Structure 1
Amino acid sequence: MAYRDEKLSEEKVFKDPVHRYVHVRDQVIWDLIGTSEFQRLRRIKQLGTSYTTFHGAEHSRFNHSLGVYEIVRRIINNFEDRPNWNKEERLLCLSAALLHDLGHGPFSHSFEKVFKLDHEAFTQAIILGDTEVNKILSKVEPEFPSKVAEVINKTYENKLVVSLISSQIDADRMDYLQRDAYFTGVSYGHFDMERILRVMRPTEDQVVIKQSGMHAVEDYIMSRYQMYWQVYFHPVTRSAEVILSKILHRAKKMHEEGYAFKLEPKHFLSFFKGEPNLQEYLRLDESVTMYYFQIWMEEDDPILSDLCERFVNRRLFKYIEFNPNQQMNEWMELYKLFNKAGIDPDYYLVVDSSSDLPYDFYRPGEEEERLPIHLLMPNKELRELSRQSDIVESISGKKRTDHKLYFPLDRLEGLSNRSKTKKRIMEILYG
C-alpha cells in the first residue's frame, strides 16, 4: 500500500473542548503531528499577549491547528460524493489545514512587525526545507510538499481547495473564533458551525452556502465582528503588545550599539541582524523569549529593565482615545514634555491603531482581493451574501479603525506635584 493511503490500525483521537474530538486515521497526518516542527506549536500561544487581559487565553497554535484540520476533515466527509469534489485532493487539504500556521513565531504578529518577518513565508520554508515535516510530505510524492505550500500560499491551481483554508468563511476562521471565545470566556464567538458545515457545497472555484443557511452565516459574520473589537483589539492586550514590541526594539538597538549584555542573547542575534535561518527561527519560542525577558530585568539599561519588568509582571501602560490624524499638535507637545521630564517618548509614548474589515465584496484588481461568500439559490443561481442579507450589507466594505495613546501613568504620577511639566502633560492627556 502506498504511504499516502496508509491508515492507522486504530483511529487516534484528541479530546478537544471545542470540537469534542479530533479524529486521525491517516498515517501521514499522525506522522506530521509527531514532528518537532509541529510540536513546537505547543510553545506558541494562539492569542499572543491576550492572556494579560483574559486569563484563560493560554491555548496554543497546536490546539488551533488540530481544530482547523478537524473542521476540514468534516467538510471533506460531507463533500465525498458531490460533484466538483476531487477525492484525490483529500490528503492535500488535510495536510495544508494541519500545517497552515507552522511558521508562527513567539507572540506572532508583534514579533513579526519588529523583525520584519512573515510567518507564512516561514511556514512554506518549513514545508519545503530540510525538516521532519518535509521528509514526511516527500514520502507521499516528491511534489507533495510544493502542493501543500501552494495551498497555504493561495497559489494552488484548484481554488476550491484554497478556499477551505483561506477565504471569508474558512476552517481557519471557524476554529479560531470558537476556540478563542471558549478560552477567553466570552460569548461573542459562538455560532452554529454544524449548520454551516451541512449547507456548504463545493463548486469549481470555492465553497458556497445553500441559501437556507444564510442566517447561520450572518451569525458567523457578526461573531467575527464582535470578537475583533471585544477580544483581538482589546486595549489592555494592545498595551501588552506595545510594551513587548518596545522591549524587542530596545534590545535590538542596544545590540547594534555594541552593548555588552550580561548574558549573550544568542537566540536573538540572527534576528537583530535581520537574517535568521530556518533552524534559528525554529529554536525561538515563547518560553525562550520569556526567559530572556526575565534575564533582561536585571540589565543595567534602565529602559530595557523597566519594560521587561512591566511585561513579566503585568504593569501595563494606561491609554486614552487619541487620533494622531487630528491631534498632531498635542502629540508633538507631549513628545517634548516627556523628554523634558526625563521619560523617553520613543519607548513610553506610543500611538497604536487597530483596524478591521469584517466582510467585503469582491473588488477585481484591487490589493488583497477578497472572494465574497456566495449563496446557492434554489434555482442554482449564485448570489453574493450582502445582496441577500440586510445584516451583512450594513457592515460590508466598512473599515473600522481605533486609535489609542499608551503611556506609563505611574511614571507621570511620580513626577513632582510642583512640576509645570507634569501639570501640562496631565492637562493634555485628561483635559
Structure 2
Amino acid sequence: MKKKAPNKLKILNDPIYGFIQIPNSLIFDIIEHPYFQRLRRISQMGLSNLVYPGANHTRFHHALGCMHLMQKAIRVLIFKGVEISKEEEKALCIAILLHDIGHGAYSHALEHSIVGGVSHEEISLKFMKKLNDEFNGELGLAIKIFEGKYHRKFLCQLISSQLDIDRLDYLKRDSFYTGVTEGNISSDRLIVMMNVKDDELVIEQKGIYSVEKFLIARRLMYWQVYLHKTSLVAENIIVNLLKRVKELAEKGEKLFSSSALNYFLYNQINQNNFTDETLEMFSKLDDYDILSAIKEWTSHEDKVLSSLSKMIIDRKLLRIEIQKEPFTENQLKEKINKFSKKLELSEVETNYFVFSQEIKNHAYNSKKPILILNKKGKLKDIAKASDQLNIQALTKPVIKHFICYPK
C-alpha cells in the first residue's frame, strides 16, 4: 500500500489572531527545519519576564504571527489592484518568517559579549543562504527582498521600514503578553489602510489616526517595557556575566557549559571566521544553554562570575538611577572606589558591578518617513500630515543616562 503523504497545509491556533494558516508545503518544510524550531527556545523579550511575568513568548510565536499578517497585507494590496505575483507572495512570506532566525540566546546579550562583531541580521542572512542551498534555490527571491535589493521597493518595505509587518506583530504581541495595554495597536486596521503609490508603501488618509496611535504606542512600549529599568539592569548583568565568562575561558579556565556554548566560549568568533561549522554550532545554542550554565556558575569560585549569576537566578539585581544628563567621571569613580572596598574586589572587577550607559528612544525617524496618501493622490510625511503635535516631537530622539551599582 502506498504511504500517504503528510498534510502540510496545517492550521495553527494563535492567542492573538486565532487560526493561522501555513500557506504552502515549502513554508511547512522551513518551519519543520531544526534551524527554525530552535526559535521555540529563544524568548522574544529576553529577561523582561523578570518585570512582566507573562512575557514568556518566543521568537517562534512572533515569526508565525508575522507570516500571518504578511498574508493579510498581500491580500489587501492585491484587492486594491497592486500586482503581486505568486512567486513574490511566497518570497514575502518566507522573508518575514525568517527575518529573526539569526537571533541569539537572550536576544541581544550574545551579540555584545560572546559572538562579537556579527549582528543577528547578518546571521539571519547566513541561515537563509544555507536553507536556500538545502531547498534547491527556492529562497533566492526571499533573500533578495530581505536584503532590500529587489527592484520593487514596496515589497522590501513590508519586511523592513518604520511601519513593517515585524513591528505590527511585535508591538501587539508584546503588549498582549506583558499586559501593557498601551502597546495594543490595531494591526488589522493599519494593514487594511495600506496601499502602494510610486512603488512606495503608503497608508491611506483614513488610516492617519491608526498610524498616530501606532507611533505613540511604540514610544510608550519602549519606555514602559523594552527600556524598563529592571529589564535594563538584568540585560546588562547578563552581558557582563558573559563577558566575564569569556575572559575566564580565554585564560584557559575550565567552565561548565553545553557543547554549543563551549564552542563560543573557547573560540574567538568574528565576521571573518564565521564558517558553516560556526553556523551549525550557533543553531544549537539557545536560552536553555545559557540559563543552565548560569545556574551552575552560581557556585563558581570566581567571585565576580558567581555573584553576577546569583543576581540573575535569584532576581537580586543591581540598583539603577536614570537621569537626563550624563553621569560625570567623578560620580562613576566615586561609586567604583566605594564598592571596590566594600566588595573586596579590584577596580577592574568592580566595573562588572558599577557602570554607566545611555539609552535612546527614537519613536519616529523622519529620514525614512511613513507616507500618507491623501484624497488627491498626493503623498505626505505623517509628521507633516498629522495635526497631532506630539508626532512632530517623536521625530527627535530622547536620550537618557543610567548608572548601575550594588544595593
Structure 1 length as normaliser, TM-score? 0.85
- CA distance in 1 between counterparts of 2:102 and 2:133 reads 13
State the 1:324 CA deviation. 7.1
State the 1:320 CA deviation. 1.5
Partner SS, residue 101 of structure 2: coil
- CA distance in 2 between counterparts of 1:324 and 1:125 reads 40
**Does the alignment pair 1:96 with 2:89?**
no
State the 1:93 CA deviation. 0.4
Q: Deviations over 1:288-340 (max 9, x none)?
A: 11111112122111111111111112111111235673522211222223223
1:37 corresponds to which residue?
A: 35
Task: In structure 2, give the amino acid aligned to 1:380.
Answer: G
- CA distance in 1 between counterparts of 2:195 and 2:304 reads 55
Higher Cα radius of gyration:
1
2:374 corresponds to which residue?
A: 377
Q: Deviations over 1:134-181 (max 9, x none)?
A: 423x2xxx3x43332232222333211111111111110010000000
**Does the alignment pair 1:127 with 2:128?**
yes
Which stretch of structure 1 is more off in the superposition, 37-46 or 199-208? 199-208
1:268 corresponds to which residue?
A: 261
Cα distance, 1:283–1:184 mapped onto 2, change above 3 Å: same
2:111 corresponds to which residue?
A: 112
2:162 corresponds to which residue?
A: 168
Q: Deviations over 1:57-112 (max 9, x none)?
A: 00000000000000000010112244443223100101111111111100111211
2:350 corresponds to which residue?
A: 345
2:191 corresponds to which residue?
A: 197
- CA distance in 2 between counterparts of 1:122 and 1:155 reads 18
Cα distance, 1:168–1:128 mapped onto 2, change above 3 Å: same
- CA distance in 1 between counterparts of 2:227 and 2:293 reads 26
**Does the alignment pair 1:360 with 2:365?**
yes
Task: In structure 1, give the amino acid aligned to 2:97.
Answer: L
List alignment gaps of at least 5 residues for structure 2: none
Task: In structure 2, give the amino acid aligned to 1:56.
Answer: G
- CA distance in 1 between counterparts of 2:282 and 2:38 reads 11
2:287 corresponds to which residue?
A: 286
State the 1:353 CA deviation. 2.2
Task: In structure 1, give the amino acid aligned to 2:18.
Answer: R
Q: Deviations over 1:37-66 (max 9, x none)?
A: 111000000001101110000000000000
Q: Deviations over 1:210-249 (max 9, x none)?
A: 1111011111111111000100000001111111011101
2:307 corresponds to which residue?
A: 306
- CA distance in 2 between counterparts of 1:288 and 1:393 reads 42
Partner SS, residue 394 of structure 1: helix
Partner SS, residue 403 of structure 1: strand
- CA distance in 2 between counterparts of 1:313 and 1:134 reads 44
Percent identity, aligned pairs only? 28
- CA distance in 1 between counterparts of 2:314 and 2:263 reads 27
Partner SS, residue 383 of structure 1: strand
Q: Deviations over 1:176-229 (max 9, x none)?
A: 000000000111111222221111102343310111110111111111110001
Task: Specify which of 56, 60, 75 is matched with residue 54 of structure 2.
Answer: 56
2:150 corresponds to which residue?
A: 156
Q: Are the counterparts in 1 of residues 362 and 395 from structure 2 also a CA contact under 8 Å? A: yes
Cα distance, 1:324–1:335 mapped onto 2, change above 3 Å: farther
- CA distance in 1 between counterparts of 2:171 and 2:33 reads 26
Which stretch of structure 1 is more off in the superposition, 352-361 or 230-239? 352-361
State the 1:383 CA deviation. 1.1
Q: Are the counterparts in 2 of residues 56 and 184 from structure 1 also a CA contact under 8 Å? A: yes
Any residues of structure 2 matched to 1:205-216 within 5 Å, and which?
205-216=199-210
Q: Are the counterparts in 2 of residues 239 and 316 from structure 1 also a CA contact under 8 Å? A: yes
- CA distance in 1 between counterparts of 2:315 and 2:22 reads 39
Partner SS, residue 347 of structure 1: coil
Task: In structure 1, give the amino acid aligned to 2:295.
Answer: Q
**Does the alignment pair 1:254 with 2:255?**
no
- CA distance in 1 between counterparts of 2:49 and 2:365 reads 30
Task: In structure 1, give the amino acid aligned to 2:369.
Answer: P
State the 1:11 CA deviation. 4.5
Q: Deviations over 1:234-286 (max 9, x none)?
A: 0001111111011101101111122233x366433442333261011111100
List alignment gaps of at least 5 residues for structure 1: 1-6, 363-370, 410-431
Task: In structure 1, give the amino acid aligned to 2:363.
Answer: P
Q: Are the counterparts in 1 of residues 94 and 139 from structure 2 also a CA contact under 8 Å? A: no
1:244 corresponds to which residue?
A: 238
1:386 corresponds to which residue?
A: 383
CA RMSD of aligned residues (A): 2.0
Q: Are the counterparts in 2 of residues 83 and 202 from structure 1 also a CA contact under 8 Å? A: no
Structure 2 length as normaliser, TM-score? 0.90
